[in-house]
Structure 1
């Protein structure tokens, strides 16, 4: 089903992608409905009211979990009362990342929207969320929302506290900005190309994954994309170019920007 800004895509009867295809980043957030709580992985760009959308899908209390504290993943955090974040990005959530607001606004408006934004959206009034989390997550933590458990997997590289979420019972891996089709970014000062590769290696060793659910672009990606990205990083490493400033490496389905 499609509304003015968000596209709701059904993964299964209790799992939904809340997508923002009208923006050049094509951001996906994910709603997991348990017995006692609903878990919302990221809150998108903050262009539309994501809370209104998820409340159409569930009446359960909503826990927001954060793959990482970049503006395009925490845009709707202020709409919710319960927010979790990984320990290495608590300060980013509280005090903000070292990117000026005017730069974020420029990024939001970089390309024309391909869908009409909500009438209440005004870039002049755009703010980046900051606040204190309700729970600080660590590697291998389990979030139990009632008949559904999600494991925290620390996958730094794109950011220091980037995490993936593994739902072992269903074989779903929510990959955030670690794995997707498009350009993988590891050139910012706060990124680490070596850690990015190690995180890809870590994810590639996981057993039982039947579906990868990315945070950007094409939502229907093959499980073996993780192996292709792993091979690409190894190729770059072998050329002694796994470091900042070596450029953009094009592998067809994806690029790696160092």
Structure 2
């Protein structure tokens, strides 16, 4: 599996392009900006974009999703509890923080436990509410890799003070789900650096069980 990380936009959000050696299909997770850079990488590597997966509705993770969908005629995936926020520029923060209002209607609506297929890869959907109601993480089956959006970073958790955020739900997510991930799990977060859960556990991250 090849993971191309691109840090895009004024908030330095991470977009990830996933593909396999020798297979010309790719997925992108959270294209928040940098459309030209994304297209350049796809074209250079002769990749067909087969889907756009949004971990949550905030504009810094979604702003070029509609443009990529139009160019590559591929579906947008998002959790069913993100529909309102994706469609409403007030909720997704694009009214005040972005030059263009963003409204997105996903083509494929996800639930916890769903599988997104890409060639030989299977991405399992983990519903991780708290930062937003329908925030998700994506585990690549048969690997230690999990894409975490803004649920958890290498040294902190996603904020809960924006529209749809809930500290109570995030605490449950971290305590009941994220804390179960092994030390060998590698997280690819929506901002900042990649880290193992062993490294994350060494930080003072709220609600995270220190045991592996």
Band of TM-score, shorter chain: 0.7 to 0.9
Does residue 83 in structure 1 map to residue 76 in structure 2?
yes
TM-score (norm 2): 0.81
- Matching residue of 1:171: 144
Q: Indicate how the Cα distance of structure 1 residues 230 and 143 shifts in structure 2: closer, same or farther if over 3 A, else same.
A: farther
1:43 counterpart (16, 31, 34) = 31
- Matching residue of 2:186: 211
- Matching residue of 1:94: 87
Distance in 2, matches of 1:101 and 1:231, equals 29
Within 5 Å, give how 1:29-178 maps onto structure 2: 29-34=15-20, 35=23, 37-44=25-32, 46=33, 48-55=35-42, 56-81=44-69, 82-98=75-91, 101-105=94-98, 126-178=99-151
Distance in 2, matches of 1:70 and 1:43, equals 11
Q: Is the 8 A contact 2:89 2:95 kept in 1?
A: no
Post-superposition CA distance 1:182-211 (Å, at most 9, x none): 563112242110110111121221348531
What SS is found at the alignment partner of 2:39? helix
TM-score (norm 1): 0.68
Within 5 Å, give how 1:8-19 maps onto structure 2: 14-19=2-7
Which structure has the bigger radius of gyration?
Answer: 1
Q: Is the 8 A contact 1:38 1:63 kept in 2?
A: yes
2:173 counterpart (199, 203, 220) = 199
Q: Is the 8 A contact 1:168 1:209 kept in 2?
A: no
- Matching residue of 1:184: 158
- Matching residue of 2:72: none
Does residue 221 in structure 1 map to residue 195 in structure 2?
yes
The CA deviation at 1:130 is 1.6
How many residue pairs get matched? 199
Q: Which runs of 5+ in 1 are unaligned?
A: 1-12, 106-125, 236-258
Distance in 1, matches of 2:138 and 2:89, equals 23
Q: Is the 8 A contact 1:36 1:145 kept in 2?
A: no
What SS is found at the alignment partner of 2:131? coil
Distance in 1, matches of 2:198 and 2:190, equals 17
The CA deviation at 1:154 is 0.3
Post-superposition CA distance 1:112-163 (Å, at most 9, x none): xxxxxxxxxxxxxx31332321100110100111110100000000000100
Which range moved further: 29-38 or 187-196? 29-38
Q: Indicate how the Cα distance of structure 1 residues 91 and 37 shifts in structure 2: closer, same or farther if over 3 A, else same.
A: farther
